[in-house]
Structure 1
């Protein structure tokens, strides 16, 4: 089965917890705090593996949760950092955040890596909190939670040349005779259900990858037929080879076919019109093909070169392959995504804190107050509630963020219930 689009869940490992410990060694008076920091949680990394061709493996495993860092230990020993979780993906995989639709990584070359979910930092041990005012703190942090997100993986086949055209115009036959690829060929529409890839070598030693894409029909860009599922695979191609059935045995006008397919490519992605397009008049061994070709040239107002071939008899293939190879040499790669980097200018980027609130307050059906927000939830998870000093520090942090004042403005009174995640607290004046 060819799988080229899938949605998975990834979570970076949580950091290890910091430790509260004190030196109690012989001949070491007033040893002081000696709790070590926790180790960093593992990152989830996607790495390109050349041998993979589809995203089939992700059908069976859709959750990737990296291991957490080791907890801090006594004698100021740092917990061990967790080893990264490396997930193999095929070349041509585009990783997109499912919520924001922002592209995280475009993975194309063997061995290329991208961190998809960062692990959390380790919590600090009590030796980090020692001050002249409090030389023996019974206070430590829990590890920072790792990043978790849903991501969409989309495979866009890495081919230099893409064959497009209506169903049954001879794309698969053309690929089978110019390369070692063995696509299924039959006398019915949509024989090709998945993109086929083949490597073509010309007589002068040049080579390139060619993809035969499932047939397009009118309305493909909006989801009609099979072709819309695979239009994404043509985005990486540098040269488009437009195959047209000049025999017109199916009753369609070759020029109308040409216009329709180009309109579909334009509607799907306007940038596809920037790519050089080679027009191939196939099935020239059939009767009336010559007349149809002459009529096609008359209707075609543009001065475009047309290559009459017969994939079946191999007539005209040599000239076509030379032209494709020439076009590839003169055509740069088209980036999938706009990069606005200006190499001449040196810019230093500063990240300022946004004025968005760190928390939000809502009311539950039972009248309790519900606190939410990424920063306040992270703070809560990193607090060790088994120690009174940590609880007092958490209360001070909330007060500093303005949570107490905001609750009073919402009408909270002494004894009211305040919820944060799955925990409940009492509001005390």
Structure 2
């Protein structure tokens, strides 16, 4: 299956149905009052995260997603049917970005988490709404409003607890294949892996932990050289990194420093992400050479690397003994941070506990509202500009019996 981690789509919400002008025409009531119903609201476009998908491939060939329009109102004050929503399934880890403003609309990380990305237009008002003491037979109604329309970019950042990074041909795919049941393509040449591979590694407790084999990074990756930005983006969500270095290369320490420089240059959270340094291909060198390279790392960065051979599985138990306690500490810290609302980076991107539906149009007090999505001007107006205030007041007083 082809791995696609970035697509652009257009989302178009449904138009609200028109309100109508109608009057009661019943036996013995030849001149009844207004009875025109309101139009139904247009359907919305909603994204929903799911564990069943690992790529955005399904969205690559369909670029426009439309919700249904609301139905027009009916006689006898019948409200038109609401338009059906358009539900789009995306992988967990999908970030939604408005292409016009480059604002982050939302971040879908939990299964079944939803995000309304285009709201349906309000249904128009029927003439029954305009009944007042001064106007007993209103003959006007309002059309339904257009739904929101946006151009969005979806970017997938794989959700994995542990990421395996390193230069091309360091043995990352071999390592994930022996640690898990994943079967990535493995060959003795650089850039064999062109897309991230996921594998589930069993903890001593029996629980599974997702590891990600991040395709080989090269010098200049932070500037987008090769597929640098695409690969580095997937590193962001990991809690812990296994930095794999080929001990048989000409300069293992330089290889390590190259990757570190790319992480630092890319920024975001990568420079501070915890790492475990691992020297691979121990089976291909003698003990004296291993001691020499290990000493180089100790002197240069004051770190003693873990020595393994992914091919012979030598040292893998020791590696996992380092991974599990560090990962447990990081997960506990993340859990405590999640419980502290003051540490939330953007409240608008965190759905309330009472609902799993996120909506960017959260009002003027929130950072990400629908207005921000189209650069300061909402394209989902309400009917307030079309309704005479005195008619509203008279209608309200009459309905209250005053």
Question: Do both proteins adopt the same fold according to a TM-score greater than 0.5, normalized to the shorter chain?
Answer: yes
**1:375 and 1:103, CA in 2 relative to 1: closer, same or farther beyond 3 A?**
closer
Q: Does 1:339 align with 2:340?
A: no
How far is the alpha carbon of 1:107 from its aligned partner? 1.1
C-alpha distance in structure 2 between counterparts of 1:45 and 1:300, whole Å = 52
Mean CA deviation greater in 193-202 or 284-293: 284-293
Alignment partner of 1:214 is 2:227: no
1:116 partnered with 2:122: no
Which structure is larger by alpha-carbon Rg, 1 or 2? 1
Q: Note if contact 2:294-2:304 (Cα within 8 Å) is conserved in structure 1.
A: no
2:279 and 2:306 in contact (8 A); partners too: yes
Query: What is the CA-CA distance between 1:308 and the residue it aligns to?
Result: 0.6
Alignment CA distance shift 1:102-1:290 (3 Å): same
Q: Report the 3-state secondary structure (helix = DSSP H, G, I; strand = E; otherwise coil) of the residue aligned with 2:293.
A: helix
Please name the residue that 2:237 is paired with: 236
> 1:282: which partner in 2?
280
> Hey, what's the Cα distance between the residues in 1 that align with 2:53 and 2:316?
31
1:122-201 equivalent positions in 2, closer than 5 A: 122-201=123-202
Query: Normalising by structure 1, what TM-score?
Result: 0.77
**CA contact 2:39–2:72 (8 Å) conserved in 1:** yes
Give the Cα separation in 2 of the matches to 1:3 and 1:305.
38
Tell me, what secondary structure is at the counterpart of 1:285? Answer: helix
Q: State how many pairs are aligned.
A: 357
**Structure 2 alignment gaps of length 5 or more:** 348-361, 366-375, 390-402
Distance 1:229 1:41 in 2: 37
CA contact (8 A) 1:311 1:317 kept: yes
1:190–1:319 CA distance, 2 compared to 1 (3 A)? same
Cα distance in 1 between the residues matched to 2:174 and 2:89: 33
Residues 68 and 83 of structure 2 are in contact (CA less than 8 Å); yes or no, is this contact kept in structure 1?
A: yes
Structure 2 residue 342 is the aligned partner of structure 1 residue 329: no
Structure showing the higher helix proportion among its residues: 2
Structure 1, unaligned stretches of length 5 or more?
Answer: 342-348, 353-372, 384-392, 398-429
Higher relative contact order (CA 8 A, sep 6+): 2
* CA distances 1:164-210 after superposition (whole Å, capped 9, x unpaired): 11000111111111111011111111000100000011445353110
Shift of 1:219: 0.5
Q: Distance in 2 between matches of 1:120 and 1:296?
A: 65
For 1:351, the equivalent position in structure 2 comes to 364
After TM superposition, give the deviation of residue 300 of structure 1 in Å.
Answer: 2.5
Moved beyond 2 Å, runs of 4+: 202-207, 291-302, 332-338, 349-352, 373-379, 393-397
Contact between 2:50 and 2:111, CA under 8 Å: does it hold in 1? Answer: yes
Aligned match of 2:369: none
In the TM superposition, what is the alpha-carbon distance from 1:374 to its structure 2 partner?
A: 5.6
Say if 1:225 and 1:321 are closer, same or farther in 2 by CA, change over 3 A: same
Q: Give the Cα–Cα distance (whole angstroms) in 2 for the partners of residues 280 and 168 of structure 1.
A: 14
The alpha carbon displacement at 1:163 in A equals 0.6
